[in-house]
Structure 1
Amino acid sequence: MAGMGTVPATQSFLAGEKVTASKLTAATKTPLDFLMNPPRCGVYTATGIPCASGTSTLVTFDTESWDTDSMHSTSTDISRVAINTTGQYLVTFYGRFPSNATGYRQLNFRKNSNGNSAGGSTMSTIALAAVNGSQTFVTRTFELNCLAGDYFELFAMQNSGASLTLDAGQRVTGMEFRWLGN
């Protein structure tokens, strides 16, 4: 794969130019390798996260499903997924709350918020009424234009009147990013 944060440029051939291995590699293999394994990151929490009623809670991600572009660290700023390669991304965020009949469950996806639920910019918020007798699964998928240096965090909120612990596990509470193109 090309250097992190760089979309490889394709090479052109001039009429009558001799084809060399290095030129052919630059023209086809390097861009195809990048496209076959584009920047992407999937993170989740392996430990339940307590969410007090009526309080926005920063969701941390201690486990990675994959990370092809050094977008996440499990030791520093573990709530963040950072963009290293500018482009359009397919973004999914999700969280599962335990069964409780009262109130709503909400996820707020923010850019450059520095761990502050009022900081940075809200990119997407989704709230659902609580589901009695079953978990409430909140999720959203959309395309987002991202610049290298941007980072994203997720905040959970619920108003059941009591603390609820956000469920843990792969494809249970997490975020996923996949580079689609420029």
Structure 2
Amino acid sequence: MALPDYTKPLDADFIATSAGDIRDNWVAPSVRVHSTSAIIVQASSTLTLTYTAERWDTAGSWSSTASSRLIATVAGKYSIIANVRWPSNADGYRALAIRRNGVTDIGGVHAAPPTGTVMDMQVFSVANMSANDYVEVLATQTSTSSLAIAVSSQISPEFMMTLVSATTAIST
């Protein structure tokens, strides 16, 4: 017996049977991207973060030509997470937001930085997404100098999204 093709991306041909049973070869849309270089956020500003490489992308949810966006390829509920590491700088505050379709913030975190150490920050949301909706991460800092979001393997800057449940069952 041949093994199922677990690398096949999720599409309208197979999410689940009409009875709701998941197919053996089902792969949920899931994507994780990162930046291979520091991202500079100017003093007292907000920046939409961009990413330079994939860790994985099972459904074509990220493209280097729209490198700030993760795109929902199937309608449903998605888990969305972003991580950054701010440098040591106790001036001002730091914030991260997840924004859907360039308009609506669907998750956010805001904090004053600690004194004398880096600050790891994570934002998380579970959101209903239509097919072709996209999400981006916005980073804000209010210090009086530019700050570089550090590159730290598997920690920063990272952006990921996974389908938790499809909106409707699709028969094959």
Q: TM-score, normalised by structure 2?
A: 0.83
Amino acid at match of 1:78: S
Contact 1:5–1:148 (8 Å) recurs in 2:
no
Please state which structure has a larger fraction of its residues in helix: 1
Equivalent pairs: percent with the same residue?
A: 25
Q: Following the alignment from structure 2 to structure 1, what is the Cα–Cα distance between the partners of residues 125 and 101? A: 18
Amino acid at match of 2:23: P
State the structure with more CA Rg: 1
Amino acid at match of 2:76: G
Q: Deviations over 1:123-174 (max 9, x none)?
A: 1121111122111111122321111010111111111110011112432112
Return closer, same or farther for 1:104/1:11 CA change in 2, 3 Å cut-off: closer
Q: Following the alignment from structure 1 to structure 2, what is the Cα–Cα distance between the partners of residues 8 and 155? A: 31
Q: TM-score, normalised by structure 1?
A: 0.79
Match of 2:133 in 1: 150
Q: Deviations over 1:98-128 (max 9, x none)?
A: 0011111111211111xxxxxx111112111
* 1:97 equivalent in alignment to 2:97: no
* 1:32 equivalent in alignment to 2:15: no
* 1:10 equivalent in alignment to 2:2: no
Match of 1:63 in 2: 53
Q: CA deviation at 1:86?
A: 1.1
Q: Deviations over 1:28-68 (max 9, x none)?
A: 7x71221xx31100011111111111111110010111100
Contact 1:5–1:86 (8 Å) recurs in 2:
no
Q: CA deviation at 1:87?
A: 1.1
Contact 1:87–1:147 (8 Å) recurs in 2:
yes
Match of 2:3 in 1: none
* 1:72 equivalent in alignment to 2:56: no
Return closer, same or farther for 1:147/1:163 CA change in 2, 3 Å cut-off: same
Provide runs of 4+ in structure 1 moved above 4 Å. 1-4
Cα root mean square deviation, aligned: 2.0
Match of 1:131 in 2: 114
Q: Following the alignment from structure 2 to structure 1, what is the Cα–Cα distance between the partners of residues 50 and 125? A: 21
Which SS does the other structure have where 1:178 is aligned?
strand
**Any residues of structure 2 matched to 1:167-178 within 5 Å, and which?**
167-169=150-152, 170-178=154-162
5+ residue gaps, structure 1: 13-26, 114-119
5+ residue gaps, structure 2: 1-5, 167-172
Once the two structures are overlaid, the 10-residue window that deviates more, 167-176 or 46-55, is 167-176
